[in-house]
Amino acid sequence: MSSPIWHPFTQHALTPDATLVNCGEGAWLETEKGRLLDAISSWWVVTHGHRHPKIVAAIKSQADALDQVIFAGFTHQPAEDVARALIEIAPHGLSRVFYSDSGSTSVEVALKMALGFWRNQNKARTRIIALEHAYHGDTVGTMSAGARGVYNAAYEPLLFDVVRLPFPQAGQEHQTLERLEAAAADAAALIVEPLIAGAGGMKIYPPALLHDMARICRRHGTLLIADEVMTGFGRTGTLFACQQAGVTPDILCLAKGLTGGSLPLAATLCSQEIFDAHYSTDRSRTFFHSSSFTANPIACAAARANLQIWRDEPVLERIAMLGEMQEARLARLRGRFENVRRLGTITAMDLKVSDPGYLASAAPDLIRFFHARGILLRPLGNTIYVMPPYCVTAEELDLVYNAIAEAAEKFP
């Protein structure tokens, strides 16, 4: 019997039936067809590994106390604790936390906060500036800020215009900064993925450039939105990528790793100025945004446990070690791939093909190739990347990189 499910980013006419997964543990998934090494952290969300015991325990215990509650006019301890903890660890200067339930909604909230900030001061600044190759989610607002391509061509008539900055290629960074300088003065906000464009192909740019972009924004009063949905919680080697550039954004978007990747939860942090622009006895200045499951208590309990793990366990040391292990294995692949690169715990390399890009014909074959070898990898077009959970061992990484080396032979 075929399943009635319509899967995300899946062309069902070309893709074999979805693999049934029964359980997960550490870096592994147990499927109906055997074990799979989860080398992409189940789409970039699982940080410490599947089913970290402290997160599982927190979820169980919260489920026994309060499952869900309306969040307008009501609050609960897990949400209060997580908000305070986030403000403590986030770049200094962020003082308010707005909850939602996915990366996309955290970015929608950020864009709406930025627009409300200007409107409530009667200033006509509505333009959003974004980077080439950006990905900020799959809702209409976040697609608008994201790069245009085959995956959103059908929705193009609904997308709003943004000022698009050229991606800061090595040697051409000045073009990015000049375009920003020209557009910033009357724009509402610049939104960036700090240090690495993820879904856009794991394209990396240096902290100095993020620092320069932040400086230009500051000078023109343009709000800076840091979309750390992917980069947050250690992926780039520091807790947040912004820290490497010494930058405090006006708005910070967090999701994927916030609960250690166990449950959907997102948070949008903002500066006091943005909150204050909405603070008024005039009810028309209210921040009009909500989702039914805003700050779900079980998800917040999972996030609270995750933040406790960051305090109790040597996570940053583990991440530094993982970076070194990745680097050593990557070195063997230089020459076999193009643009072999690493940022923190993330590595990426481009397969030389005649049709590069998201629809590169090699991509589905590569996915099957790795799957057959017990490895979950899901190249972005001809870009193969490895983004494992932090618990992954050297031996497990060898399995991943041996398969990639084999792929280099098989897919010339």
Ligand X SMILES: *Cc1c(COP(=O)(O)O)cnc(C)c1O
Instruction: List interacting residues with ligand X (CB under 6 A).
Output: 102-104, 107, 135-137, 193, 198-199, 227, 229-230, 255
Q: Smallest distance from the beta carbon of 104 to ligand X, in angstroms?
A: 3
Sheet with strand 346-350: strands edge to edge: 338-343, 346-350, 383-386
List all residues 6 or more positions away from 250 whose beta carbon is below 8 Å from its beta carbon: 114, 189, 223, 224, 225, 270, 271, 273, 274
Are 106 and 230 within 8 A, CB to CB? Answer: no
Are 147 and 200 within 8 A, CB to CB? Answer: yes
Q: Smallest distance from the beta carbon of 121 to ligand X, in angstroms?
A: 27
Q: Smallest distance from the beta carbon of 268 to ligand X, in angstroms?
A: 12
Compare residues 113 and 325 and give the one whose CB is closer to ligand X. 113
Burial class (CB in 10 A: 0-12, 13-18, 19+), 244: buried
Q: Smallest distance from the beta carbon of 43 to ligand X, in angstroms?
A: 7
Compare residues 229 and 400 and give the one whose CB is closer to ligand X. 229
Q: Smallest distance from the beta carbon of 107 to ligand X, in angstroms?
A: 6
- CA distance to 53, 55, 107, 124, 319, per residue, from 26 (Å): 10, 13, 29, 50, 15
Compare residues 110 and 407 and give the one whose CB is closer to ligand X. 110
Copy the structure tokens of residue 224.
Answer: 């800076």
Q: Smallest distance from the beta carbon of 190 to ligand X, in angstroms?
A: 15
CA distance linking residue 190 with residue 182, whole number of Å: 13
List all residues 6 or more positions away from 154 whose beta carbon is below 8 Å from its beta carbon: none
Compare residues 105 and 382 and give the one whose CB is closer to ligand X. 105
Q: Smallest distance from the beta carbon of 241 to ligand X, in angstroms?
A: 10
Q: Smallest distance from the beta carbon of 146 to ligand X, in angstroms?
A: 8
Q: Smallest distance from the beta carbon of 395 to ligand X, in angstroms?
A: 29
Compare residues 85 and 263 and give the one whose CB is closer to ligand X. 263
Q: Which residue is nearest to ligand X (CB)?
A: 103
Phi, psi dihedrals of residue 257, rounded to the nearest 5°: -85, 5
Compare residues 369 and 379 and give the one whose CB is closer to ligand X. 379
Compare residues 120 and 345 and give the one whose CB is closer to ligand X. 345
380 strand-pairing partners = 383
Q: Smallest distance from the beta carbon of 401 to ligand X, in angstroms?
A: 24
CA distance linking residue 252 with residue 75, whole number of Å: 22
Compare residues 255 and 305 and give the one whose CB is closer to ligand X. 255
Compare residues 229 and 315 and give the one whose CB is closer to ligand X. 229
Phi, psi dihedrals of residue 204, rounded to the nearest 5°: -105, 145
CA distance linking residue 168 with residue 175, whole number of Å: 8
Q: Smallest distance from the beta carbon of 284 to ligand X, in angstroms?
A: 29
Compare residues 50 and 329 and give the one whose CB is closer to ligand X. 50
- Residues for the chain: how many in total? 412
List all residues 6 or more positions away from 211 whose beta carbon is below 8 Å from its beta carbon: 245, 246, 247
